[in-house]
Chain A
Amino acid sequence: MTTQSTSARTAAGPRKESRRRPPASSTTKVGRPGFAWALPAAVFFALFAIVPLIMVAVLSFMSWDGLSSPEFVGTDNWSRLIDDPVMLKSIWLTLLLTALGVVLQTPLSILLGVWAAGHQRNRAVLSVIYFIPLLLSATAVSVLWRALLDPNFGIPADATWLFGDGNLFGEQATAIGVLAFVSTWQFTPFHTLIYQGAARAIPPVLYQAAEIDGAGRYRQFFHITLPQLRTSMITSMILMIVGGLTTFETVLILTQGGPGTDTTISAYYMYDKAFKSFDYGTGSAIALALVVAATVISLIVVRVSGYDKMRSSMEGVS
């Protein structure tokens, strides 16, 4: 598998392709597909993603309850949101949960991924069980944990020595803890897979050389494994961040934003505004803010990590 190069090239896009002129030796003119090949997919995507996105932008400046015609209200929705304590709290909660997700899942999945990259037989058998959460929908995972952690009819009612009065959903700290734990439970296997694939692609030569130099296991891990996993770490973290910003089912099923508004993250607040209070204008403003946030944060991660530079230096490899 030409692991690294593939992903690096993927992100490089067609511009890089255009830089690579056909070899001078080529005498035959190689036919290339026209843009018509890309058109059906582009139209389909524009229709169901770009057009709605434009409509969201327009709606964020309107007042609309779904019953009467929408009315332009200028920046009213936006200025109200800026002063809305629940909105501010929801941004903070979203960032907190996203950060918790990255902090909990990254070390865990690197550890598990590197371990699972080995070729021993028992690992293969155990990995079968490890990856089961990956196959469950967010809905199934949330329903499962809601049932298991129900204060009156689940495990806490049975294990008061561990859970005290057992109402994990009744306090902000424990409710956030449950949400972070459930996402970790659900998504760690996926990120483990990413690291497992990457760890297997590290050339064994590097380790052999290190062993000749007398480097121990931990030095090897920090000086070879981790640096080699860098690209995967960035991919995985971007996926975690975008996933964290858009968490929805988990909150809807586990806490419904409660207690009070203590776990009302932005994506849930948007749903609440749009489909419970029928304030589609404000809901759209929150939605647009989410898109912008996801884009900006991903760009920052790419820039700070030097991911964009890395791929150009990688071109020579493969």
Chain B
Amino acid sequence: MRRRPNYLGGAGSLVWLFLVGLPLYVMLAATLRTRQDYAENGPVSIPDSFTLDNYTGAFDSGFGQYFLNTLVVTVSVIGIVLVLVPPLAYAIVRSRGRATSAIFRLFLLGLAIPAQAVIVPMFYLISEAGLYDNLLGVILPTAAFCLPMSALILSGTMRDISPELYEAMAMDGASPRRMFFQLVVPLSRGGLSTIVVFSALQAWNGFLFPLVLTQSDATKVVTLGLYNFQTEHGIDIPGLLGAVVLSMTPILLVYLFARRALVQGLMGVGGK
């Protein structure tokens, strides 16, 4: 396709570049200067000092532990989703039973349940189960709320597997179980990576469940650490932004090294 340049789109994208770039620049610049420099010269000036104190400060205030907690939550949520969703999607796509169809409708309904809506009883259930202020108490509900979307995405991918392939395997006398492991799973890799990206972001960025279901430093996740840092040191803006930058570093690294997979995965969330 040889076409004239798209001026309107180009101009829009430049405006967007500015809107995204400027705050990110101010943020980075602020974190590399001393609090005094920032206070005296203001956020948009050119820094005349250089320091890494804002990062070490944030790290010393416990972010190391918070990262570890977030990592545990994220990995566990991905684990639960990967164990539960593929068989579910397989059943949704291949089973003809009424019960399965009912289950599918249950998950469709689940799409419209926001986490906020169930937070009160969730608190009650989790604390009665002795899981309050325990990472498991964050992991389980977070994973549960990843299920509807993941099921939808993955069953979409699995539907693209042509019926002839199943028949071919059936000729060889394959059981549903063997079809699942030898046919369905290998051919659903795209969908699987999408649900991994989706649940990883949900878990990594989750806020409400940790806010209500945990309280101590030992179970604090990064988002909550950020929120508390803000309520306690809200005016130490370089330090606060240092914590923000720290909190986004791991995901940014993943983004830089696996941009394609991540972007493809996210497009998948939109139903593609």
Point out residues on A near B: beta carbons under 8 Å: 1-3, 5-7, 9-11, 13-15, 17-18, 22-23, 26, 28-35, 37-42, 44-53, 55-56, 59, 108, 111-112, 114-116, 118, 123, 126, 128-140, 143-148, 150, 152-155, 157-159, 185, 188, 190-191, 193-194, 196-198, 201, 204, 207-208, 217, 231-232, 235-236, 239, 242, 245-246, 248-249, 253, 267, 270-271, 274-275, 280, 283-284, 287-288, 290-291, 294-295, 298
Contact = CB atoms under 8 A, between A and B. Distances in A.
Contacts of A112: 9, 12-13, 16
Given A14-B95, A17-B93, A246-B114, A45 B147 contact: yes
Contacts of B27: 144, 148
Contact of A42 (B103, B114, B159, B252): B103
A127 to B, nearest CB: 8
B44 A147 contact: no
Closest 8 CB pairs of A and B: A115-B9, A137-B205, A48-B144, A194-B270, A158-B42, A10-B156, A7-B271, A52-B118
The secondary structure that dominates the B interface is helix
A108 B8 CA distance: 11
10 contacts: A7-B156, A40-B88, A44-B143, A48-B125, A56-B120, A114-B9, A115-B13, A135-B251, A246-B115, A295-B112
Given A10-B156, A140-B226, A33 B180 contact: yes
A140 B12 contact: no
Contact of B230 (A47, A130, A143): A143
Contacts of B153: 10
B267 to A, nearest CB: 4
B240 A143 contact: yes
A173 to B, nearest CB: 20
B47 interface: no
Interface in B183-240: 204-208, 212, 222-224, 226-227, 229-230, 234-235, 237, 240
Contact of B141 (A30, A48, A191): A48
Given A18-B101, A116-B13, A294 B230 contact: no
B12 A32 contact: no
A136 B206 CA distance: 11
A89 B157 CA distance: 43
A56 B96 contact: no
B26 interface: yes
Given A14-B93, A15-B101, 17 more contacts: A6-B156, A7-B271, A17-B96, A32-B96, A35-B100, A37-B180, A41-B87, A44-B80, A48-B145, A50-B106, A55-B125, A108-B16, A136-B205, A138-B207, A198-B272, A236-B270, A253-B230
A294 B144 contact: no
A31 B95 CA distance: 9
B178 to A, nearest CB: 9
Interface residues of B, number: 120
Interface of B: 1, 3-4, 6, 8-10, 12-13, 16-17, 19-21, 23-24, 26-27, 39, 42-45, 80, 83-85, 87-88, 90-97, 99-101, 103-122, 124-125, 140-141, 143-145, 147-148, 151-153, 155-157, 159-160, 163, 166-167, 170-171, 174-176, 179-180, 204-208, 212, 222-224, 226-227, 229-230, 234-235, 237, 240-241, 243-244, 247-248, 251-252, 255, 259, 263, 266-267, 269-272
Given A6-B271, A139-B207, A298-B112, A126 B244 contact: no
B170 A154 contact: no
B6 A217 contact: yes
Given A23-B163, A30-B167, A217-B6, A275 B212 contact: yes
Residue of A1, A41, A138, A291 with most chain B CB atoms under a 10 A cut-off: A41
Contacts of B1: 204, 207-208
B91 A115 contact: no
Nearest to A201: B272
A270 B91 CA distance: 37
A271 B116 contact: yes
Contacts of A13: 92, 101, 104-105, 108
A313 B101 CA distance: 22
A37 B93 CA distance: 11
Nearest to A5: B160
A50 B113 CA distance: 9
A9 B104 CA distance: 13
Contacts of A133: 20
Contacts of B43: 148, 154-155, 158
Contact of A197 (B105, B152, B171, B267): B267
Residue of B20, B124, B174 with most chain A CB atoms under a 10 A cut-off: B20
A181 to B, nearest CB: 9
Contacts of B175: 31
B117 A287 contact: yes
B207 A249 contact: yes
A32 B95 contact: yes
